[in-house]
């Protein structure tokens, strides 16, 4: 496992987060954000899905169907997002298998293919680094590390929290 300090030293490492219509196999991405290790926004977009956002998902991220009505569909943002991700030596995400699955599900709805991306699952790393933690949820880890929380649970805010957790872990090592 590459040390988190090495990830932070690289300019071609990206941090990604998604918000979705729900958790099931037919659900889709409604927001994607990507930042670099300096915290600079590389991509941030709301996306109109082909299915309704479930009420449970709205309670988590606050993104409503009305907010998405005039946004582009995934097919309109896919190429720009893939250009950003393709340039990365690693795309880091807190629970990367979830983000990868939802991006694949969204792409598949439009007959698009998610190209090979070098994913890095930071929650798995964290479980190895801190097995004594009772919770490895991003906001729980951020709180335990004393990282300032963002008020909303949106993709860009979660990217910045993930970066802050990475930095806090490196400083404490």
pLDDT at residue 68 is higher than 90: yes
Diameter over CA atoms, the chain: 46
Rounded CA gap, 106 and 101, in Å? Answer: 9
Q: What are phi and psi of 25, to 5 degrees?
A: -60, -20
pLDDT at residue 148 is higher than 80: no
Q: What topology is assigned to 4-172 in CATH?
A: Nucleotidyltransferase; domain 5 (3.30.420)
DSSP 48: B
Burial of 125 (0-12, 13-18, 19+ CB in 10 A): buried
Instruction: Assign 92 to helix, strand or coil.
Output: strand
Domain assignments of the chain as residue spans, ordered by start: 4-172
Instruction: Assign 34 to helix, strand or coil.
Output: strand
Strand 90-93, strand 119-121: pairing = parallel
* pLDDT tens track for 113-138: 998 999 999 999 999 989 999 999 99
- Going by pLDDT thresholds of 50, 70 and 90, the confidence category of residue 171 is confident
- Going by pLDDT thresholds of 50, 70 and 90, the confidence category of residue 172 is confident
pTM above the 0.85 mark?
yes
- Going by pLDDT thresholds of 50, 70 and 90, the confidence category of residue 2 is low
């Amino acid at each position: 496992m590459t040390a988190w300090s090495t990830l932070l030293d690289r300019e071609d490492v990206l941090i990604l987060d998604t918000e979705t219509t729900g958790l099931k196999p037919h659900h889709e991405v409604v927001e994607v954000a990507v930042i670099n290790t300096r915290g600079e926004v590389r991509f941030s977009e709301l996306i109109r899905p082909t299915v309704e956002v479930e009420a449970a998902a709205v309670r988590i991220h606050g993104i409503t169907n009305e907010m998405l009505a005039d946004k582009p569909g995934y097919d309109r943002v896919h190429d720009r997002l893939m250009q950003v991700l393709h340039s990365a030596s690693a795309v880091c995400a807190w629970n990367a298998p979830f983000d990868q699955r939802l991006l694949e599900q969204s792409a598949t709805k439009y007959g698009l293919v998610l190209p090979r991306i070098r994913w890095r699952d930071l929650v798995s790393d964290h479980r190895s680094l801190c097995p004594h933690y009772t919770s490895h949820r991003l906001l729980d880890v951020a709180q335990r590390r004393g990282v300032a929380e963002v008020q909303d649970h949106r993709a860009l805010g979660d990217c910045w929290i993930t970066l802050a957790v990475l930095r806090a872990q490196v400083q404490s090592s």
